[in-house]
Amino acid sequence: MNNQKHILLLGSGGREHAFAWKLSRSPRCAKLFIAPGNTGTALCGQNVPLNPLDFSAIEHFVLENQINMVVVGPEEPLVNGIWDYFQEREQLKEIPVIGPSKAGAQMEGSKAWSKKFMQRHLIPTANYREFTSDNLEEGVQYLLHHSLPIVLKADGLAAGKGVVICQTHAEAIQEFREMLGGKFGTSGHRVVVEEFLSGIEFSVFVLTDGKTYKILPEAKDYKRIGEGDTGPNTGGMGAISPVPFVDDTLWQKVETRIIQPTVAGLRKEKIVYKGFIFIGLIRVNGEPFVIEYNCRMGDPETEVVLPRLKNDLVMLLDNCARGTLGRVNIRADQRAAATIFLVSGGYPGPYEKGKIIRGWENIVGSTVFHAGTTTNELGQLVTAGGRVMALTSLGKDIPSAVRQSKQNAHVIDYEGKNYRKDIGEDLFA
Ligand code: AMP
Ligand code: GLY
């Protein structure tokens, strides 16, 4: 068996830079290509200008470059069936794709499907009903009698924008009609109407080979643009790991009531799943409920989870692909990790790009994970997206890890730089 891996990693965000950073540290990583990658991933391997959704271009690249492991960062290739594409082709089917089959990716690709899955396996989640344009008027009646606030979810992928929490019945009915009317394209042709759960959220990451599973360090992300969790949602302004309120009692409940029935349920339903399951959870009166499943790792959570993972990631993924995860023990750094995202001025609204980024080469004590950066014609690093770069630090506890990232956030400079200075503070208030 070939232990040296030629790896193709798909994606281009901060998550993928963290993956590339961790994969490239493995002695088993002989070659690493990232498609399409970013300025940061180019420091860990070779970027290749391929679209992760163009499966036939990926097929050619994989065969030409003797790739023997494909790691999928974002959800879209998985929901579109990249795993199945490889399985259906003689020359590709022995090459492991880390990520679920198309059937498994429905965990994220269809909210209605994942709610039904949870019902079938008695996994705690908010009560719900689903509607399409066929029973729109019944949906309106249902909304009128629903307690407030009301959570509406477009069934399909909607680039993180498909969940709307409505404070009034009028708002809910309008949003509901707009979703079914095509506001999110076909993603909203089915809408899940869900009971609002009030509590504190956290995220759990599981790697499964379809038989057994391993739990990675948990994390909590900060989604809102403003300090004190105010203002509009973003792709993520920061994250911390571990999560102090997730004690042994809560872990026990999460593992027995959620993780075990999820993995067992996939297996019972003969859904092939060899990859990461990201479970978004909420603690309500001490009890965990599932808010959502994702069929991939989180961003920016990966930027704190992988720095705390002591295992060789290539070996871990190889065991996942071979169905031998049971042999592995997960080892986590006992230190805490924090990441702070530097974003462009104006984000998540309109913002300017092309601002020269200074000071990033001299960062000491934090790891810089690039997301929205590029180099200009003079070779200078410039901003190229809303979320620019994440600064991850390890520390004896969360406040000291955050302090380290904040010091470095201060050192890096570009016009319009913005970041949250309160990451993790809510946990110690
Ligand atoms: P997204 O990451 O776009 O799927 O948005 C999901 C976010 O909406 C979660 O992180 C929660 O903050 C919120 N959310 C989703 N479902 C519920 C629910 N049933 N009760 C309360 N908040 C929810
Ligand atoms: N941080 C949330 C996500 O990756 O979906």
Do strands 213-215 and 287-294 pair parallel, antiparallel, or not at all (unpaired)?
unpaired
299 lines ligand 1 (CB under 6 A): no
Ligand 2 atom with the smallest distance to the CA of 300 is: 1
State the CATH architecture for 5-89: 3-Layer(aba) Sandwich (3.40)
CA of 347 to the centre of ligand 1 (A): 21
158 lines ligand 1 (CB under 6 A): no
Residue by residue, pLDDT tens for the chain (429 residues) are 457 999 999 999 999 999 999 999 999 999 999 999 999 999 999 999 999 999 999 999 999 999 999 999 999 999 999 999 999 999 999 999 999 999 999 999 999 999 999 999 999 999 999 999 899 999 999 999 999 999 999 999 988 788 999 999 999 999 999 999 888 888 889 999 999 999 999 999 999 999 999 999 999 999 999 999 999 999 999 999 999 999 999 999 999 999 999 999 999 999 999 999 999 999 999 999 999 999 999 999 999 999 999 999 999 999 999 999 999 999 999 999 999 999 999 999 999 999 999 999 889 999 999 999 999 999 999 999 999 999 999 999 999 999 999 999 999 999 999 999 999 999 987
Ligand 2 atom with the smallest distance to the CA of 223 is: 1
For the purposes of burial, counting CB atoms within 10 Å of the CB of 251, is it exposed (0-12), middle (13-18) or buried (19 or more)? middle
CA of 294 to the centre of ligand 2 (A): 8
For the purposes of burial, counting CB atoms within 10 Å of the CB of 96, is it exposed (0-12), middle (13-18) or buried (19 or more)? buried
Ligand 2 atom with the smallest distance to the CA of 299 is: 4
Query: pTM of the entire structure?
Result: 0.96
CA of 233 to the centre of ligand 1 (A): 11
Ligand 1 atom with the smallest distance to the CA of 289 is: 19
Q: At what angle do helices 136-144 and 169-180 cross, to 10 degrees?
A: 160
CA of 298 to the centre of ligand 2 (A): 4
Nearest CA to ligand 2 atom 4: 298
Structure tokens at 265: 């349920």
Ligand 1 atom with the smallest distance to the CA of 291 is: 16
Domain edges within the chain: 5-89, 127-195, 200-427
Q: Does domain 127-195 have CATH number 3.30.1490.20?
A: yes
- Contact criterion met (CB below 8 Å) for 126 and 289: yes
Q: Say which DSSP state 65 is in.
A: T
Ligand 1 atom with the smallest distance to the CA of 158 is: 3
Ligand 2 atom with the smallest distance to the CA of 236 is: 1
- Contact criterion met (CB below 8 Å) for 423 and 237: yes
CA of 263 to the centre of ligand 1 (A): 22
Distance CA 414, CA 412 (A): 7
Q: Mind listing the pLDDT tens digit for each residue in 196-222? A: 999 999 999 999 999 999 999 999 999
What is the CB < 6 Å shell around ligand 2?
A: 221, 236, 294, 298-299, 301
CA of 80 to the centre of ligand 2 (A): 19
Distance CA 170, CA 147 (A): 13
- Contact criterion met (CB below 8 Å) for 361 and 406: no
Mutate to test the pocket of ligand 1, among 151, 163, 282, 284 (most ligand atoms within 8 A of CB): 163
CATH fold of 200-427, please? D-amino Acid Aminotransferase; Chain A, domain 1 (3.30.470)
128 lines ligand 1 (CB under 6 A): no
Q: Mind listing the pLDDT tens digit for each residue in 357-414? A: 999 988 999 999 999 999 999 999 999 999 999 999 999 999 999 999 999 999 999 9
Mutate to test the pocket of ligand 1, among 165, 279, 285, 295 (most ligand atoms within 8 A of CB): 165
